[in-house]
Structure 1
Amino acid sequence: MKKLILFLSTLLIGWNSYSQQNKNALKEAIKNNTQLEAVINHYKKEDNQDKLRAAYFLIANMNSKGTYSNDLVDSKGISVDFNISNFENEATEKKWLDSVTTVRGKLNEKEIFLPDSKHITSQFLIDNIDRAFEARQKSPFCKDLSEADFYEYILPYRVNTEKLESWRNSVLNDFSKAQKDSIYSFTTVLAAANYVDRIYQKRFEFGGNRYFKQKNVRSYSELLRDKAGKCDDMCNLVVFALRALGIPSGFDGIRYKRASNDVGHQWVFVLDTKTNKNYPFDALSNNGPGFFNLPYKNAPKVLRKQFALVLDASIKKDQSIIHPDFFEDNSLDVTSEYFETTNVAIALEKKYQEPLYLSIWHKGWWKPVDYFYESNQTTVTFKNVSKDNLYCLTKYRFFATEEINEPFIINRYGEIKYISSIGLKKDINLNDYVNKELKNAKNNAQVLDFETKTELYRKVVQENLKKDEWILFSKDSLKTNTLYLFVDESNKINKVFLLKNDGSVDWY
């Protein structure tokens, strides 16, 4: 024990710039771990302080990092070797699954987590650090790169929860000397990133909506083997390549889009050290770096994946009180880089001993996008909140979300406007509103009262009678500045809208 204490005290000399939390994490990670201790000893023996600090960073932030593996197994727990990329479409996938089920019985999903702290080897970590430093030295795009940005956008040995592999060597072997020379000859990081992105456009493509249900995060070699996937996969592939080549990069994303039932989206960014700005772009698309326009109006939160652990986030490890979306979440809120944001404070009518959530409407209910927690809290505060959005304060218990107060809009001035207090409410006829989405609604689409969910209007489309209108199903007419639900079961649409006095419609 005395030997361990002496080793750790010696280890932390010269690391005073790191927080006590990271120092504690480092102590805990190295304790009884000969592989990680060997990495530290290796760079101490080399007397390489730069790589030693890099090793400190990776090890101190390794907690909760690991490989998640999701597999389909039969009743005996034996894998059926399912790979979604083996099938041309959902129909052939279903046919194969049905045939396997007939022979091997009901299939179940099996999830395995392999923590890096127990499975990473010293040689793997040393190779990753050495290759990362080589990339930094060779790349003109790492000139003037700060140590903090190097640690986050070049150094990490993984980009997500994929299996561990030597992807840096694989990337470099995939590029000829002429191609690497071309990359490093570009005068801007945008041109270099675009060049790399176009090379991988020929090797990987978007595989369709059926990939959205896939939980497995694939490694570099697996992505190139399968050749198709969703936007997350495309981001991972491009970030692997960019970081291996010494182009500082990462990825941002949104869980929910305003006025949409679609899944979220992720995109890549590159850091330009000349301007100290991040330039986002959709991976493997023609919308390359420098030409990116986020096509989603006022997404409530934009989150950045990062390797460094978020400080003071102990609540995120408490499954008894935290919503699953936030459990051990290590994302960084970068909403203000994309949208106008504000900080809001909401007074509570009583004290709460549990986290409260800022939620938006998505797929038929309130979904949390941020949380606040203080013991005996009488006011909740949320930072970096996107303006011009509909929100509701909620709590989470027994796997269900409950409303705390009535919905409110944070307007473009950053003011909280509860729906009941928004302007004059006038009676209107839905057919008088010239709105593309309402006009193009399919037959039997409905407008419901937001609170009671009772039907108020139904769309009737009869081509033979040239009839296309909204029919009132209630004695009460609609009112302006009031929330209603637009439901189209055939297209799986469930959105909130508000009819304004000027004849326009706001969708949320």
Structure 2
Amino acid sequence: MLFISKSAEFLISNMDIHQAVNYYWVDSSGCKIDFNEFSYQNFKESVASFRQIVEKKGQLTPVPFNSEDIKTIDAKYLINNIEVAIKSWKNSKIKNIPFQIFCEYILPYRVTIEPIEKWRENYQEEYKWITDSLFSLDLKTVMGLAQIDYKTSFHFTWNKESRDEPLPRLGAKHLIFRKKGACEDVAAMVAFIFRAQGIPTAYDKFNLLDQANRDAVANLVYAYNLRVCSAGTWTTIDPSQKGLYDQQIAVDQKPEILKKLDVAVQKEKESKMIKF
């Protein structure tokens, strides 16, 4: 009970500086359009349905809005987040995580300014193989496997396509539903994944010189990475760079999910879609 009250105190004391950025659609008369992309089987179906609405209603306009956490998050959501986070902390394969580290890097219900969603249980179940893998593999190797997982199942959109909606950060549910996004989206998704497994994870942002003009300091782009903590040591995983999966593991020691990942990686190498 003490951990629950202290966790609530930590979240509430920091809640006033956080907000979500989201939007909705209106038609030419200003009427709100009833559309929820998560009502469909997959993102492709939701896009097709939205296009049908546009054909019927005509031009639609997105209306962005901000929601302050302190005004919108209710006690039920907060308590559920705390209880599930504490359970994952206690069951984590990363042992001896101090309470303060838990509060900073496992407990938070959001990563940046994404829409608030209930995400922990879904991510725990979807990526349970990470916890299972830590029975026989070290954290750095599992981090590398997670990197391969999103490189083979998540479409990296940076410098390939833009998001034509006023949604600067995708929510946890968007990420697992759309399976696409840029650096910041991949980094957020991996933060959700590891935090759901009770692994302390920090979301970092740093500047990179524009690759086409390395000497022009004014031309900066942002890259995002994750730092994962174990035994007081932080290891970095960068969504845009070469993976950490550089250890040879005997086939008979691999869980089934890792064998499947090996097959996926080999296919990627053969198609030259990603480089290692």
Letter in 2 for 1:77: G
Match of 1:121 in 2: 74
Structure 2 CA distance for partners of 1:130 and 1:284, relative to 1, 3 Å: farther
1:203 paired with 2:153, answer yes
Shift of 1:67: 1.9
Match of 2:104 in 1: 152
Whole-Å separation in 1 of the counterparts to 2:28 and 2:194: 42
- Find the counterpart in structure 2 of residue 181 from structure 1: 132
Higher relative contact order (CA 8 A, sep 6+): 2
Alignment-mate amino acid for residue 272 of structure 1: S
Higher helix share: 2
2:115 match: secondary structure? coil
Tell me the equivalent position of 2:226.
Answer: 268
Q: Does 1:280 align with 2:232?
A: no
Q: CA deviation at 1:70?
A: 3.2
Relative distance call for 1:179 and 1:277 in structure 2 (3 A) is closer
Q: Which residue of 2 is the match for residue 416 of structure 1?
A: none
Structure 1 residues 240, 171: closer, same or farther in 2, change over 3 A?
A: same
Give the partner amino acid of 1:133.
Answer: I
> Is the CA contact (8 Å cut-off) linking 1:200 and 1:284 kept in structure 2?
no
Tell me whether 1:69 sits opposite 2:22 in the alignment.
yes
- Look up the equivalent residue of 1:182 and give its one-letter code: S
Deviations 1:286-338 (A, max 9, x none): 433899xxxxxxxxxxxxxxxxxxxxxxxxxxxxxxxxxxxxxxxxxxxxxxx
Equivalent-residue separation in structure 1 for 2:177 and 2:3 (angstroms): 36
Residue number in structure 2 paired with 1:54: 7
Cα deviation digits, residues 469-496 of structure 1 (max 9, x gap):
xxxxxxxxxxxxxxxxxxxxxxxxxxxx
Aligned match of 1:254: 206
In the aligned structure 2, how far is the partner of 1:103 from the partner of 1:262?
Answer: 41
Aligned length: 230
Q: How does 1:9-158 map to 2 (within 5 A)?
A: 48-78=1-31, 100=54, 104-105=58-59, 108-141=61-94, 143-158=95-110
Distance 2:29 2:221 in 1: 34
Cα distance in structure 2, aligned partners of 1:77 and 1:191: 52
- 1:86-485 correspondence to structure 2 within 5 Å: 100=54, 104-105=58-59, 108-141=61-94, 143-175=95-127, 180-186=131-137, 188-209=138-159, 210-211=161-162, 215-216=166-167, 217-254=169-206, 257=209, 259=216, 261=219, 263-273=221-231, 276-283=232-239, 286-288=242-244
Residues 55 and 129, structure 1, Cα contact 8 Å, conserved in 2: yes
Structure 2 residues without counterparts, runs of 5 or longer: 38-42, 46-50, 248-276
Partner of 2:264: none
* Superposition CA RMSD, Å: 3.5
Contact kept? 1:73, 1:79, Cα under 8 Å: yes
Give me the whole-angstrom Cα distance separating, in 2, the residues matched to 1:181 and 1:288.
18
Q: How far off is 1:222 after superposition?
A: 1.5
Give the whole-Å Cα distance in 1 for the aligned partners of 2:19 and 2:181. Answer: 21
Q: CA deviation at 1:108?
A: 4.2
- The answer on whether the counterparts of 1:279 and 1:289 sit within 8 Å (CA) in structure 2 is no
Equivalent in the alignment of 2:260: none
Q: Which moved more, 1:127-136 or 1:65-74?
A: 65-74
Q: Secondary structure at the match of 1:70?
A: strand
Deviation by residue 1:183-215 (Cα, 9 ceiling, x = unmatched): 3433x3212322333333333120242336754
In structure 1, the gaps of 5 or more residues are: 1-47, 88-95, 292-508
Which residue identity lines up with residue 234 of structure 2 in the other structure? Answer: N
Contact 2:85–2:107 (CA under 8 A) maintained in structure 1: yes
Does structure 1 conserve the Cα–Cα contact (< 8 Å) formed by 2:114 and 2:171?
yes
Identity of aligned residues (%): 27
Q: Cα distance, 1:62 vs. partner? A: 0.2
> Do the aligned partners of 1:254 and 1:266 also contact (CA within 8 Å) in 2?
yes
